[in-house]
Chain A
Amino acid sequence: MTPALEIRSLRHVFGPTGVLHDLDLDVPAGSITAILGPSGCGKTTLLRLMAGFDRPTGGTIRLTGQLVTGNGHWVSPEKRNIGYVAQEGSLFPHLTVRRNLEFGLSRAERRDPRRVAELIAQVSLEPDHLKRFPHQLSGGQQQRVALARTLARRPAVVLLDEPFTALDTGLRATTREAVAAALRRVGMTTVLVTHDQGEALSFADQIAVMIGGRIAQIGQATEVYEAPVDLETARLIGDTVELAGTVSGDGRHAQTAVGPVVLRSDTPPGPATILLRPEQLKVRTGPGAWRVHSVEYFGHDYLMDVFSTRAGLSLKARAAGTVEYAPGQSADVVAAGLGTAFPLASSRS
């Protein structure tokens, strides 16, 4: 099936600096893709090029099979049938919520009162919000209205530029849920740009990790989290535990400071960096070579630093909130689950 969005060899420069380098990306129809990357990696630029606000230096973009950018051809944003929600404040301040929603509708649709009622319900807002002005809504409500406004035109793709970053933490989660629900309900192809890994992991079907103007890895959330393609990508996705280790002869085990680790895939024997996630370190209080150094209690879990004088190492570990941990306790730490090994000769970090 034709991907809703198809990008090939996209290149873009700002003055002397290159921002995007030969970027390829496929976004399947009906899916939610998150583009995750640190600030300055070019993700907002990518989004703006998709929307048609800027023209790239080279490369092609196809929307539902039609060429919209590239090979001397360029379609203006008005004609692209693409939706766009900015980080904040993209509602028209002089119009009520109703008029904002109606802005993109045809005359016939505007006359139909059910259309607007439908839109407002889609994003889980009340009908009496319709007569309010944007400045009378909370940030989260504003973003929902912005989304409803773009959905009104039934675009082929919706682009979200860090839509939850500007919201208070309390609002963030509920807004995210409402937005995700609305998008899934209509089966809308969505591209979300964010630097927040938690957001990317929970929101999207597919994650594209972007570093330095290139897509480093693309795949399902679990895949990208558990089997990152390199250490830099791994660090972007979540907290890491990086251990110096030696891969055994059979390529399926490695010896590390926390003992033996089972590897995910065959790796050439020899010295390597072994990657684990903090929740994979099992900390058992009691006699052991390790000591709990500091503890952050979140209620649902603990994030702690464990320290080994023998190995001279300090590692992050995560544990469920059901057991009590306190600084100063001695403990034993072992690895669980599968780890990924990056041989030293070829590891990029």
Chain B
Amino acid sequence: MAYAAGLAIGLVGLLPILFVAEATVSVGWTQIGSFLLRDRIGQLLTNTAALVVTCVMGCVVLGLAAAWLVERTDLPGRRIWAAVLVAPLAVPAFVNSYAWSSQWPRFEGLPAATVITVLSYYPFVYLPVAGALRGLNGSLEECALTLGRNRLRCFFDVVIPQLRVPLLGGALLVGLHILAEFGALQMIGYETFTTAILVQYQSTFNGTAATMLSGVLLLCCLLLLSGEVAVRGRARYSPIGSGASRPAAPARLGLGRWPAVSAVALLLVLAVGVPVVGIARWWSHGSGLSPELGAALLNTLRLSAMGALATVVAALPVAWLAVRRRGPLSTAIERCAYLTSSLPGVVVALALVTASVRLLPAAYQTSALVLAGYVILFLPRALVCLRSVFGQIGPELDEVARTLGASSVKRFSRLTFPLIAPGLTAGVAFVFLAASTELTATLLLAPTGTVTLATQFWSHSDSLDYAAAAPYAATMIVLAAPLTYLLLHQSRVVRGR
């Protein structure tokens, strides 16, 4: 039964890929060839690849350094830093870009794109690495020290290999986000495949150029995904052990203490301070709150809430299959979800528009379609949270509960649900966070007259009306802040204290 549900979800997730594939196939090889082998494509490829490389490197270095400083040294105030370092998750990348480009319009090109995206995405690496460092077994490093390695070599030879899985997972997430990023890059005029796709779609909707670019983007995503799998190897996301491992003693920073604190503070000033100050400045120029803000807020809450619920429910069978019935089919379904979600929102939205117009007109321009878009786009976020909790609950618990006379209802309510609750909460928070700032798919799929915080922000900032955009940006951040905290808290619970 779980298989049926999982398959259904997998198939829905396949829609955008089928959409792109069908359009590409109908174009014909010679046209594809002449389209792809052009300077412009080369330029887009270079831009996209360059940004992926610089941003991933930047995020890995920053995320790793921040995680190490907070979890494994005696950095002063590290408990506070640990929470605040996650704060950039509450600031959408396009708001970050708005803050930087509105205050320094000359800051552009690869350096600007790298700075903005690294500041927005480093938490994707920081969070899992920090969690892993917390659970590392210190005795491994102590052994290495007795075998003659100094502390630095110990770090590279013993600690880093154990961090392979979270580092790769975080890097993958960053890479996929860069490939799908639109708003932030559009604002500073940095052209990548996604921005080019959007320009084409705005001009031609289903045009061949647009779908071919999407095809190339899909291939890039596939490349990243297979790269991550290849480098990760057989290592699995590790379940929590029975608590036997001993954490290593924190490294002493000594004189390096205050430079380290300054560095972390600087990072936060750039990542959170700049957007907050920027928004405050522009808000003071503007005319204050408008009634549309209320409508936009209500819509955002409504759509994000429904989207979060729907996504988590959809993720349940897929996660269950992936953990309990590991096999080629369940892996395929999971991989499909990752692949589709790495497409830009506009491609997913267009596939849904086309599908609904052709197959199910009653669903067109209803909230249901927006939700379908959110589910497709954000399924992996929910999957990641659910997988880790499912991994901790072995089938033996269920079997023992049966021998204690518990019916399946009782088993679910008193055993399964409480145990997966932290994962469910994290999943709901994570998806809500993403849905409340989603832009391009919402633009296309929302019923006429429905505006969200993100779409209103965009229409104002696009016409350079920064002052009018400021309240929307501020509201998005205020909305996201408690969710980010919840996510942090749940990720700590999930990883076991």
Q: CB within 8 Å of A: which of B231-253?
A: 242-243
Q: CB within 8 Å of B: which of A50-80?
A: 51-53, 76-80
Known: A94-B418, A94-B419. A84 touches B400 (CB 8 A): yes
Tell yes or no: A131 within 8 A of B by CB.
no
Q: Chain A residues with Cβ under 8 A from B400's Cβ?
A: 84, 86, 90, 146
Known: A84-B399, A89-B242, A89-B394. A153 touches B415 (CB 8 A): no
B406–A93 CB distance below 8 A:
no
A89–B396 CB distance below 8 A:
yes
CA distance A280 to B441 in the complex (A): 83
Residue interface mask B417-458, A partner, CB < 8 A = 1: 011000000000000000000000000000000000000000
Which listed residue (B403, B406, B415) contacts A51, Cβ 8 A?
A: B403
Tell yes or no: A103 within 8 A of B by CB.
yes
CA distance A104 to B397 in the complex (A): 13
Tell yes or no: B401 within 8 A of A by CB.
yes
Tell yes or no: B151 within 8 A of A by CB.
no
Tell yes or no: A335 within 8 A of B by CB.
no
Which listed residue (A51, A78, A86) contacts B405, Cβ 8 A?
A: A78
- The residue of chain A having its C-beta at the shortest distance from the C-beta of B402 within the complex is A77
Q: Chain A residues with Cβ under 8 A from B396's Cβ?
A: 86, 89-90
Tell yes or no: A82 within 8 A of B by CB.
yes
Query: In terms of DSSP, what is the predominant structure of the interface of chain B?
Result: helix
A103–B404 CB distance below 8 A:
yes
CA distance A166 to B243 in the complex (A): 15
| B side interface size, CB within 8 A | 18
Residue interface mask B111-154, A partner, CB < 8 A = 1: 00000000000000000000000000000000000000000000
- CB A234 to nearest CB in B, in angstroms, measures 34
Tell yes or no: B407 within 8 A of A by CB.
yes
Q: Chain A residues with Cβ under 8 A from B243's Cβ?
A: 135
Known: A77-B403, A84-B403, A135-B243. A103 touches B419 (CB 8 A): no
CA distance A42 to B414 in the complex (A): 32
A104–B399 CB distance below 8 A:
no
Residue interface mask A131-170, B partner, CB < 8 A = 1: 0000100000000001001100101000000000000000
A135–B404 CB distance below 8 A:
no
B399–A51 CB distance below 8 A:
yes
Q: Chain B residues with Cβ under 8 A from A83's Cβ?
A: 403
Which listed residue (B404, B414, B418, B419) contacts A150, Cβ 8 A?
A: B404
CA distance A209 to B212 in the complex (A): 68
Q: Chain B residues with Cβ under 8 A from A89's Cβ?
A: 242, 394, 396
Known: A103-B414, A135-B243. A92 touches B397 (CB 8 A): yes
A153–B405 CB distance below 8 A:
yes
Q: Chain A residues with Cβ under 8 A from B399's Cβ?
A: 51, 53, 77, 84, 86
- CB A329 to nearest CB in B, in angstroms, measures 41
Known: A89-B242, A90-B396, A135-B243. A78 touches B414 (CB 8 A): no
B242–A153 CB distance below 8 A:
no
Interface centre among B242, B403, B418 (most CB of A within 10 A): B403
Which listed residue (B394, B397, B404) contacts A153, Cβ 8 A?
A: B404
Residue interface mask A89-119, B partner, CB < 8 A = 1: 1101110000000011000000000000000
Q: Chain A residues with Cβ under 8 A from B405's Cβ?
A: 78-79, 81, 104, 153
A93–B419 CB distance below 8 A:
yes
- CB A210 to nearest CB in B, in angstroms, measures 22
Q: CB within 8 Å of B: which of A214-251?
A: none
A76–B414 CB distance below 8 A:
no
A103–B403 CB distance below 8 A:
no
- CB A219 to nearest CB in B, in angstroms, measures 29
- CB A197 to nearest CB in B, in angstroms, measures 26
Known: A103-B414, A135-B242, A135-B243. A90 touches B397 (CB 8 A): yes
- CB B25 to nearest CB in A, in angstroms, measures 40
Q: Chain B residues with Cβ under 8 A from A77's Cβ?
A: 399, 402-403
- The residue of chain B having its C-beta at the shortest distance from the C-beta of A149 within the complex is B404
Residue interface mask A11-27, B partner, CB < 8 A = 1: 00000000000000000
Q: Chain B residues with Cβ under 8 A from A93's Cβ?
A: 419
Q: Chain A residues with Cβ under 8 A from B394's Cβ?
A: 89
CA distance A80 to B406 in the complex (A): 12
Q: Chain A residues with Cβ under 8 A from B418's Cβ?
A: 94
Q: Chain B residues with Cβ under 8 A from A135's Cβ?
A: 242-243
CA distance A83 to B399 in the complex (A): 11
Q: Chain A residues with Cβ under 8 A from B419's Cβ?
A: 92-94
Residue interface mask B370-413, A partner, CB < 8 A = 1: 00000000000000000000000010110111111111000000
CA distance A314 to B407 in the complex (A): 60
CA distance A289 to B404 in the complex (A): 63
Q: Chain B residues with Cβ under 8 A from A155's Cβ?
A: 403
- The residue of chain A having its C-beta at the shortest distance from the C-beta of B421 within the complex is A94
- The residue of chain A having its C-beta at the shortest distance from the C-beta of B392 within the complex is A93
B406–A78 CB distance below 8 A:
yes
CA distance A155 to B418 in the complex (A): 27
B406–A103 CB distance below 8 A:
yes
Which listed residue (A82, A92, A94) contacts B403, Cβ 8 A?
A: A82
A103–B402 CB distance below 8 A:
no
Given contacts A80-B403, A90-B396, A90-B400, 14 further A-B contacts (CB under 8 A): A53-B402, A76-B402, A78-B402, A81-B405, A82-B403, A83-B403, A86-B396, A86-B399, A90-B397, A103-B404, A104-B406, A150-B403, A153-B404, A155-B403
In order of increasing CB-CB distance, the 8 nearest A-B pairs are A104-B404, A77-B402, A84-B403, A90-B400, A86-B396, A94-B418, A78-B402, A53-B399
Q: Can you give 23 A-B contacts (C-beta < 8 A)?
A: A52-B402, A53-B402, A76-B402, A77-B399, A78-B403, A78-B405, A78-B406, A80-B403, A81-B405, A84-B399, A84-B400, A89-B394, A89-B396, A90-B396, A92-B419, A104-B405, A135-B242, A135-B243, A146-B400, A149-B404, A150-B404, A153-B404, A153-B405
